[in-house]
Structure 1
């Protein structure tokens, strides 16, 4: 038997503990300020409220990306459970029955509201344990202090997490987000709905959110790609003598470059050397076949085009600005994965945004063939030595 959770870094431990301490201290003061004193004998319900709020703080500060820690789960879960607890106290007189019933009903309500929050079961149970005091307060107990203090704790969590570099609340990822210049994305083509359905099928939707799973798949996919051909980097196979176009170059000149240099992709580079996009043969053919394909077909634009001579499109009009790019130290496995997606014929190599080379599919095939020949030669030599 061993721990299921990895050992967190000391900095993260201190960050979470300090944040939780600040949040709970403020909540304690707010409870005392807003909760009217009760006359019934027995434990103070406001003190018992701090126990489940401590568990809420643990989730919001230590594991802010968990679905159980999100504001909807915490706020709705705690408040709904408090209402359930007060309702049970008002209607059930047998303590042994009220204890189990409050937690059971609170769990049902939380799951129906999609607000599963484990500490909230403690809120319902706490209401029953302080039944005499809660009866005097009534249903207002669910709003002050439960709703009010949970809101304060979550507000502190949002501010503290952001100040210390954590994202909270943790939002769902954008599906199929476009790749911008300078980003080599290896995200599998699975949208958040499919990921959510997968987690539900495996019974893990309460433990990990679709956003977390997407990041995990992406990281694992990238790590696996980097292990292919360990030690081989982009700089070893890229072409440094690159034919380029500038943003205002007419498409007729781009076509001439394609014919002259027998290439299938041209990077578009500004006069400052900064990479701006790629022009492929298919982009050029599409533009020459239909020059207005990328233009807005609105009434105003049609009238303007009809009132002037047709102007030849330039590179900036036909290029694709959102493409995957790499650096000189990118592993060969990442390049293979990126080009295998089929969206682009070549991958620009950038250094601080400036084009320093390009890797075409031909370059990649040549590198793979060379690696295969080397491996085959080593095998032959080893077999010869054995004989």
Structure 2
């Protein structure tokens, strides 16, 4: 086996180093961007306003402590993290504040006090099972701002630290309920069906052994395993089938210049919920659905399809495994998926009715499904 040259080894090492600094893969979730940005901003306004209304005298500019921003990002941005749950939020912040004040009171050197405050806070949080990273900043505040110790002393842990945390806790529970998420995170007994192969204690032991128990909860780990099992079952059930195998209905495509009146009539004639929109070369440019027509209102009968269609719709390659379509149609809220070739040209529209049809002719069981012809008869 040839030994790589030092130059080649260096290039590989630099390439791996560069890859480590790349952002996570996947598209930007604009919904999460708006939800987290708006939620953290509102939490700061709420906590700051309540502290100001309480009449607490301002201490060295710390009406609203800086680590609150980091806590807000955890609670609002990653509510499933064990680090963001109520116990570490309250106990981790409150205990670290006490450790920081005591270190500032008892140690003459600021540098030594800062080191002891941070190290002691981390030790306390680990012992109390209340690890909360922003609390490290809370522990340093009394050392870096002596006015806190002079004016508030140990009361600093109660106001504003724990009071901020309580406001953030209540805000997080309300905010995530309004935005369709779960906070505090699920407990193991709440997702027992998702862990049929493992008990909660087994899952906890696995997370502990892999040193992931601070990053993911037992119940969410069970949900991940259940989702993986569903993918495996879908793979076994649809083994060898592509999206094109299931799309046996022929739905007439539209062009961006097709009048809306004609598009409505085509939907009625084909009993279709949505139709693909293609350009002159057959490339997919959009999808026109019944929802698009309803949003336009009953008075808008003229104009072209291009004015109402959904641009850049979710699509799949015609050769993609059928399980990918199952996932998109089940979770993405779509009733039909355009299928394209390697050049982006429309091949067919795969609808929920197509999937229901292929499943209806092979109910139950775990054996692979068979492709169906356009006439609806299983091919040999």
TM-score tier by shorter-chain length is 0.5 to 0.7
CA distance in 2, matches of 1:83, 1:170: 27
Correspondence 1:15 to 2:35:
yes
Q: Distance in 1 between matches of 2:89 and 2:154?
A: 19
CA contact (8 A) 2:191 2:222 kept: no
Residue of structure 2 aligned with 1:155, choices 157, 164, 170? 170
Please say if residues 79 and 185 of structure 2, whose CA atoms lie closer than 8 Å, have aligned partners that are also in contact. Answer: yes
Q: Render the CA deviation track for 1:119-144: whole Å, top value 9, x for unaligned.
A: 01111111211123323211111111
Q: Deviations over 1:291-333 (max 9, x none)?
A: xxxxxxxxxxxxxxxxxxxxxxxxxxxxxxxxxxxxxxx97xx
Find the partner of 1:225 among 230, 233, 244: 233
Q: 1:177 to 1:211 in 2, by over 3 A?
A: closer
- Partners of 2:53 and 2:103 lie apart in 1 by 27
Are 1:195 and 2:212 matched, yes or no? no
- C-alpha RMSD over aligned residues: 3.4
What stretches of structure 1 move > 3 A for 4+ residues in a row?
4-8, 33-36, 175-178, 356-361
Give the CA deviation at 1:73. Answer: 1.1
Contact 2:99–2:139 (CA under 8 A) maintained in structure 1: yes
Structure 2: distance between partners of 1:159 and 1:36:
26
Deviation of 1:146 (Å): 0.9
1:167 to 163, 178, 182: 182
CA deviation vs aligned residue, 1:8-59 (integer Å, no higher than 9, x gap): 41011101111111111111122333363268xxx43335x1x211001101
Summarize the alignment of residues 250-289 of structure 1 with structure 2, pairs less than 5 Å apart: none
- Measured in 2, the distance between the counterparts of 1:156 and 1:139 equals 26
Quick one: higher RCO (CA 8 Å, sep 6+), 1 or 2? 1
Aligned residues: 243
Greater gyration radius = 1
TM-score w.r.t. length of structure 2: 0.57
Normalised by the length of structure 1, the TM-score is 0.56
Q: Label 1:58 to 1:109 Cα distance change in 2 as closer, same or farther (>3 A).
A: same
Aligned to 1:302: none
